[in-house]
Chains A and B, each alone.
Chain A
Amino acid sequence: MQDYFSRRRFLLESVNGISAAWVAQHWTSALAAAQHAHTLLQSAAPARFEFFTPDLATEVDAVAGRIIPTDQTPGAREAGVVYFIDRALATFASADRKLYTEGMAELQARTREKFSGVEKFSAATAEQQDEILRSLDENAGSISRPFRPAPSGQNFFETIRQHTIAGFLIDPDSDRRGNRGGAGWQVISREHEHMFQPPFGYYDKDYPGWQPAAADPEKK
């Protein structure tokens, strides 16, 4: 943690474009606030849920864990997605509570129906869990570029899918309780910083600077 902040401060101070006055004025407080939020986030290693019962949390955690599974790299469970969803249902997505309670009940019914002897989703094998979720996924396929994610309340699987992804990739420095420790950003290779300097990537690292093209057309 200390590393992260000192690296960020170092970067900041080494950016040519930023005046020292600006740093003094803005960043110290921003940094302090971010650090505070981060410390809270880490120390509040969320033991308490605001909406879920412990049982429901276990089941939701199992679903999220199949939407973004854990393999060689962290998945939804390591990123604390269930805590993000819990807070979402306590705050901005409170309208989706019924969808969750009913959706999870339906999910459990399907579990028992499909696999006799398996009492709950979290007790099923990964393969069984995927089969159950596939049966709930109504709108597979289709590429779209939403200006905004679809509003809540559409269908349960799509809602929990979007919540899981949001909880995995949300800014870890926000107070949404998701992307714990920046695990999601680590998986997608997004550096855990909020300021960068060129070169940014492989293709611009050897860019020699702007040169006019060899032959330009006649000016109009």
Chain B
Amino acid sequence: MTTGQIKYSTSDEVDFVIVGSGAAGGVMAKELSTNGFRVVVLEQGPYLKESDFVHDEVTVLRQDFLTNHPELQPNSFRKTPEEKAKPQRAVGYGRCVGGTSVHFAANYWRFHEIDFAERRKVGAIPGTGLADWPITYADLEPYYTKVEWEVGVSGLAGSSPFDPPRSEPYPMPPLPVKSSGVIFERAARKLGWHPFPAPMAILSQPRAGRSACISCGFCWGFACEVGAKSSSLASVIPMAERTGRCEIRPNSYVHRLEVNGSGRLTGAVYFDEQKNTHLQRSKAVVVCANGAETPRLLLLSANRQFPNGLANSSGLVGKYLMINSYARCVGLFEHPLNDYKGFTDSRVLHDFYELDPQKVGFYGGGGLDARFDFTPFFFALGGLPPETPRWGSSFKAALSHNFARTMEIHSSGTSLPLETNSFSLDPDLKDAWGLPALCMTYRDHPDDLKLANWLNNRGLEILDAADVRRKWSLPIAEQQFTLSLLGTCRMGSDPRVSIINPDHRTHDIKNLFLCDGSSFVTSGRGQPTMTIQALAYRAADRITALAKRGDLGA
């Protein structure tokens, strides 16, 4: 798969170092190398291949085969900045070449126009930092299309009346419908709503030398052993490597960006697998390390010249964290759905994407999907009705009856941006390399919890309309753990209240660019990866233009 693999020396000043090889980093690597630049991608995790991928829940889920490791990389959590944070796993993300895109569920929703311009529409919300993006949906539309065609997204254009305008259809039809999708579609239509086939970054047909989905049933949380899931690993990274100008360097944990006397970056400092330190020299750096690790790296890079961390003249690096509100209800049906077959979900509902705050009494909106994302062991731990005994014959009977007959309705929605919600460096806790651990401070805005409840009630109505035999909800409470890492280095035109400009260049350092979930100004309605990748395609165009006219500040 890797023809023309190139190796650069650390002393060789390449054009770009990209930190992270996930959804954003993979696209950035492919675009910049295709545009003729010499690129080194530094990825903290290993370079795993399809032959490494297994369905063993102990390896993958319990031992964090694909994900950040709580013992090597502990986190701490607190609800408010006044509290002392306690060690606790707070974030989950992919830690391997391809990043979180390797194990994600692959729901690929475009943002709608409203997500970029909500403040103009609903006005300021006191106590929050709700702001508009400096770019619009129209600016990003061509790049959404590029994601669909190049990364590989299955879906049906025009199937949701709420969709924003698009310039091209999807390149492939939707994946097959699951029983949960049929139940959801029929019931939602009874209620007058408009379910549609889920847009998924999973191939429904063979494409670009990759296999179509084989519906193995180990999708969310697992890596695809046939390359059908459109991870960066399966899609754009091979294209980057084929240019012969891009080196993917795994097991390289970047922990400092090096700045010279005139305030310019000279490269990235990383630990290799043996914990030896290296400096990879480069003309510019693009950090695509995710919404948690990107601000952490800027803060870890503090020096005499930038005592509060890089690109942090506003003091807002790490702040305005948004993690998307979330709810889940579960339904048990008479006949087997066998929803363990296939992928996570096949039908989505966007009727409640834009709720009227005057009518519902809170800000926000969201989407619902019909899913089953349990693998067998996890189902036994968390998929049975609340009062089911946890062991013994009744437990076994419920497990035996319910596994094939259960589905879930998952709601995801907006989070309001609050300055007090953040990622910062823990003052005491250290990771296995002796670096300050990631500290998450988060308390959902009351509207986010009201929204989660409201959406979950719609999910319960759908289950009722579907002749469900039993239904229950997971408790909706203030969140203390997230996979959605958004808004911590927000984009804006005003350097006093944002970190990067619309070209993804930091306001403070000319040859430092940031592009990933941290760039977000609003949270969207969940499922942010599609927008992360559209931003990366657009940012690569902007950065290429700047570099080609010699404007990297060299």
List the interface of chain A (C-beta within 8 A of B): 12, 15, 17-19, 22, 26, 29-30, 66-69, 71, 73, 75, 88, 92, 130, 133, 137, 140-141, 143-149, 151, 161-162, 164-166, 168-171, 173-176, 184-185, 187-191, 194-198, 200-204, 207, 210, 212-213, 216-217, 219-220
Residues 174-188 of chain B, each 1 if its beta carbon lies under 8 Å from chain A, else 0 = 101111111100000
Does B419 belong to the interface (CB within 8 Å)?
no
Closest to A73 in B: B400
| Contact status of A71 and B396, CB under 8 A, knowing A146-B381, A195-B214, A213-B189 | yes
Among the stretches B117-125, B289-297, B333-341, B445-453, the one at the interface with A is: B333-341
Does B433 belong to the interface (CB within 8 Å)?
no
Which of B92, B378, B396 is within 8 Å of A75, CB to CB? Answer: B396
Q: Verify B54–A174 contact, CB threshold 8 A.
A: yes
Q: Verify A148–B393 contact, CB threshold 8 A.
A: no
Which of B216, B333, B387 is within 8 Å of A195, CB to CB? Answer: B216
Chain A residues near B478: list those with CB within 8 A: none
Chain A residues near B177: list those with CB within 8 A: 198, 204, 207, 210
Chain B residues near A19: list those with CB within 8 A: 206, 211
Closest to B112 in A: A220
| Contact status of A147 and B89, CB under 8 A, knowing A69-B392, A69-B393 | yes
Chain A residues near B161: list those with CB within 8 A: 216-217, 219
User: Bound complex: CA of A28 vs CA of B542, how far in Å?
Assistant: 45
- Closest Cβ of chain A to B394, distance in Å, is 10
Chain B residues near A69: list those with CB within 8 A: 392-393, 396
Closest to B196 in A: A210
Which positions 376-394 of chain B face chain A at CB distance < 8 Å? 376-382, 385-387, 389-393
Chain A residues near B150: list those with CB within 8 A: none
Does B199 belong to the interface (CB within 8 Å)?
no
A-B contact pairs, 8 of them (CB 8 A): A145-B474, A149-B62, A169-B376, A175-B56, A189-B404, A196-B214, A201-B337, A210-B156
- Closest Cβ of chain B to A9, distance in Å, is 13
| Contact status of A204 and B61, CB under 8 A, knowing A148-B89, A170-B56 | no
Chain B residues near A165: list those with CB within 8 A: 377, 380-381
Which positions 406-422 of chain B face chain A at CB distance < 8 Å? none
List the interface of chain B (C-beta within 8 A of A): 50-51, 54-59, 61-64, 70, 89, 92, 156, 159, 161-162, 174, 176-183, 189, 194, 197, 203-206, 211-218, 225-226, 328, 333, 335-342, 376-382, 385-387, 389-393, 395-396, 399-400, 403-404, 472, 474-475, 481, 483
User: Bound complex: CA of A147 vs CA of B216, how far in Å?
Assistant: 21
Q: Verify B58–A170 contact, CB threshold 8 A.
A: yes
Chain B residues near A175: list those with CB within 8 A: 56
- Closest Cβ of chain B to A45, distance in Å, is 20
Closest to B403 in A: A188
Which of B212, B342, B390, B481 is within 8 Å of A161, CB to CB? Answer: B390
Q: Verify A67–B377 contact, CB threshold 8 A.
A: no
Q: Verify A200–B92 contact, CB threshold 8 A.
A: no
- Closest Cβ of chain B to A34, distance in Å, is 10
| Contact status of A133 and B391, CB under 8 A, knowing A171-B56, A174-B59 | yes
Closest to B383 in A: A145
Which of A145, A146, A173, A184 is within 8 Å of B55, CB to CB? Answer: A173
Q: Verify A201–B404 contact, CB threshold 8 A.
A: yes
With A143-B474, A201-B337, A216-B194 already in contact, 7 other A-B pairs whose C-beta atoms are closer than 8 Å: A145-B328, A165-B381, A190-B340, A195-B215, A196-B214, A204-B177, A217-B161
Chain B residues near A210: list those with CB within 8 A: 156, 159, 174, 177, 197
Which of B176, B212, B336, B340 is within 8 Å of A198, CB to CB? Answer: B176
Chain A residues near B89: list those with CB within 8 A: 147-148
Q: Verify B376–A190 contact, CB threshold 8 A.
A: yes
Q: Choose among A29, A88, A141, A220 the residue with the greatest number of B CB atoms under 10 Å from its CB.
A: A220
- Closest Cβ of chain B to A27, distance in Å, is 8
| Contact status of A17 and B212, CB under 8 A, knowing A194-B55, A203-B183, A210-B174 | yes
Q: Verify B216–A212 contact, CB threshold 8 A.
A: no
